[in-house]
């Protein structure tokens, strides 16, 4: 019962009222609720039939926080020391490869997420696990 009286539920109750609402106020409230973790959007789509994909992408842009709105990330370096990774483009590169696949036509593809810094094609990065530099080839956006 205590959670039902929180700001996201009050905002939802106000939106359900028959009175005229300002869309910016509602969007700002939903964005703020998702950003602070008190709201979790649930959306449905069927990717194989392209049903709901434009609405899903619009909702991602509208409701989810931008990378610049996120706080700094806490991580560990290769020596297991705690470090803080700044989430700005000017910071040193910090990225995590979460999947690598071998494509018979393209070669080895690695999917990664950039936490801070800028990832550029045709450059070298240091693999923190191995402690060795690796060459970055072409970057494809998925």
pTM to 2 decimal places: 0.61
Q: Which pLDDT score, from 0 to 100, does residue 4 have?
A: 43
Q: CA 59 to CA 50: how far, in whole Å? A: 15
Among residues 42, 33, 97, 35, which one has the least CA distance to residue 67?
A: 35
Question: What does the pLDDT profile of the chain (142 residues) look like in tens digits?
Answer: 344 445 666 656 665 554 555 588 888 888 888 888 898 888 888 988 889 888 888 888 888 888 778 888 888 877 788 988 888 888 888 888 999 999 898 888 889 988 888 888 888 998 888 889 999 888 888 7
Which ranges of 1-117 does DSSP label H, i.e. alpha helix?
Answer: 7-16, 23-36, 53-63
Kindly provide the residue ranges of all beta strands, DSSP E only, lying in the chain, ordered along the sequence.
Answer: 73-76, 82-85, 94-103, 107-116, 123-127, 132-136
Would you state the structure tokens that stand for residue 39, as one six-digit string? 């709201």
């Amino acid at each position: 019962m205590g959670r039902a009286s929180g700001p996201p539920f009050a905002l939802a109750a106000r939106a359900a009222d028959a009175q005229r609402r300002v869309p910016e106020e509602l969007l700002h409230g939903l964005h703020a609720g998702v950003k602070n973790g008190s709201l979790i959007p649930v959306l449905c789509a069927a990717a194989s039939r392209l049903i709901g994909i434009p609405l899903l992408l619009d909702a991602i842009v509208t409701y989810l926080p931008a990378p610049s709105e996120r706080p700094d990330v806490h991580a560990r370096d290769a020596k297991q020391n705690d470090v803080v990774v700044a989430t700005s483009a000017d910071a040193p590169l910090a990225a995590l490869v979460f999947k690598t696949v071998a494509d018979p036509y393209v070669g080895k593809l690695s999917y990664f997420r950039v936490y801070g810094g800028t990832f550029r094609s045709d450059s070298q990065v240091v693999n923190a696990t191995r402690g060795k530099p690796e060459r970055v080839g072409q970057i494809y956006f998925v």
